[in-house]
């Protein structure tokens, strides 16, 4: 089930009073005059969930806020008392202590806090967290920080792809948040960004200002057909299954015997892309109804699918044997 969360990140939101030894985290009284519990209650009243940013070191990456290294149990209890639902836990100022040690401490602390908190491990992919984080985190960063550029987005998609076998229900590879709507890419590039993140079952975390987003941005991030691919109950991460230079086919299995496809033109010019059934796990002789999840159109195809794409764009498709779109 898709859940909407508000996450408070790089703001001067928290402090640790120094007048009390081993002091608890406290909210910034100027930014949050009613306190964090009141904020969480307000957010929960809107049907949303609330997340906070923390760090598995002495200070956060901005060095302006306290980290939780050495305070894991205490801070987890504080987060639970505040009603926090999500913790993004960064990797700065970590004193060269093993990430397995640091992140496991907070994982155990959260599990003992009495509250169900989604634990988003942000180790930047340095020590291949996909191979070990599944035992104590709900998601783990597989890449460095994303930038609001086509080059950064595509690079993170490629780096995340290799870790697909480690993802599944309860634990997800995270190529970092969505840059959709931040203005550094074209609408077609943002549509590519959102489609690939949905296909690979990445957490869909918006990094734009939702209060001033454009109509085009809203149309992208609210596409229910694409979101349904991301939220499919089978939970299989889609992968790159075919490549011819800049022309790629990504595919992933969905529930009820369906397959989601992205035919992705990463090149500088219009081109045709052909997806062969044999590369995506379908019977070579199958006749497939292919549904474009962006244009809401249907094509019936045998053995393969060929589409024309403009530069830096894609076609996002799923196959279904029932009435078009009733399977989404």
- Residues 6 or more apart whose CB falls under 8 angstroms from that of 263 comprise 248, 249, 273, 275, 305, 307, 309, 314, 315, 317
Closest CA to 155 of 175, 174, 141: 175
260 touches 237 (CB < 8 A): no
DSSP assignment of 163-207, as one string? TGGG-BTTBEEE---B-TTSSSS-HHHHHHHHHHHHHTT----B-
Cα–Cα distances (Å) from 104 to 51, 133, 146, in that order, read 19, 9, 25
Has 209 been annotated as catalytic?
Answer: no
Residues present in the chain in total: 328
DSSP one-letter code for 59? B
111 touches 65 (CB < 8 A): no
Cα–Cα distances (Å) from 30 to 13, 14, 219, 303, in that order, read 9, 11, 35, 62
Q: Is the dihedral of CA 173, 179, 180, 184 positive or negative?
A: negative
Determine the Cα–Cα distance for residues 214 and 219; give it in Å rounded to an integer: 9
Tokens for 36, please give them: 């964090």
Determine the Cα–Cα distance for residues 195 and 174; give it in Å rounded to an integer: 14
Helix segments in the chain, DSSP class H = 36-45, 72-82, 99-111, 150-161, 187-199, 215-221, 224-230
Burial 99-117, CB ≥16 within 10 A → b, else e: beebbbbbbebbeebebeb
Has 90 been annotated as catalytic?
Answer: yes
DSSP one-letter code for 66? B
Helix (H, G, I), strand (E, B) or coil at 155: helix
Query: Which residue among 55, 85, 90, 174 is the active-site one?
Result: 90
- Which residues form the catalytic set? 90, 145
């Amino acid at each position: 089930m898709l859940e909407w969360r508000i996450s408070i990140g790089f703001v001067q939101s928290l402090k640790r009073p120094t007048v009390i030894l081993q002091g608890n985290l406290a909210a910034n009284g100027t930014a949050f005059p009613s306190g964090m519990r009141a904020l969480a209650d307000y957010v929960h009243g809107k049907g949303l969930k609330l997340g906070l940013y923390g760090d598995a070191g002495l200070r956060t990456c901005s060095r302006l806020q306290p980290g939780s290294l050495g305070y894991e149990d205490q801070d987890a209890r504080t987060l639970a008392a505040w009603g926090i639902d999500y913790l993004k836990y960064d990797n700065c100022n970590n004193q060269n202590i093993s990430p397995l040690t640091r992140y496991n401490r907070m994982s155990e602390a959260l599990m003992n806090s009495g509250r169900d908190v989604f634990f988003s491990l942000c180790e930047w992919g340095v020590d291949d967290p996909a191979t070990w984080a599944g035992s104590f985190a709900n998601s783990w960063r597989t890449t460095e920080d994303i930038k609001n550029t086509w080059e950064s987005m595509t690079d993170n998609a490629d780096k995340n792809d290799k870790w697909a076998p480690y993802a599944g229900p309860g634990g997800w590879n995270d190529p970092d948040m969505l840059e959709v709507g931040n203005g550094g890419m074209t609408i077609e590039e943002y549509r590519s960004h959102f489609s690939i993140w949905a296909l690979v079952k990445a957490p869909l975390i918006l990094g734009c200002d939702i209060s001033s987003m454009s109509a085009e941005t809203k149309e992208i991030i609210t596409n229910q057909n694409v979101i349904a691919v991301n939220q499919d109950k089978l939970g299989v991460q889609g992968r790159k299954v075919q490549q011819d230079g800049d022309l790629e086919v990504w595919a992933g299995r969905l529930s009820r015997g369906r397959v989601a496809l992205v035919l992705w033109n990463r090149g500088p010019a219009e081109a045709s892309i052909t997806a062969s059934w044999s590369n995506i796990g379908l019977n070579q002789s199958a006749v497939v109804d292919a549904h474009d999840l962006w244009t809401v159109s249907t094509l019936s195809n045998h053995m393969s699918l060929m589409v024309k794409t403009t530069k830096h764009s894609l076609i996002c498709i799923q196959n279904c044997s029932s009435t078009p779109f009733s399977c989404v």
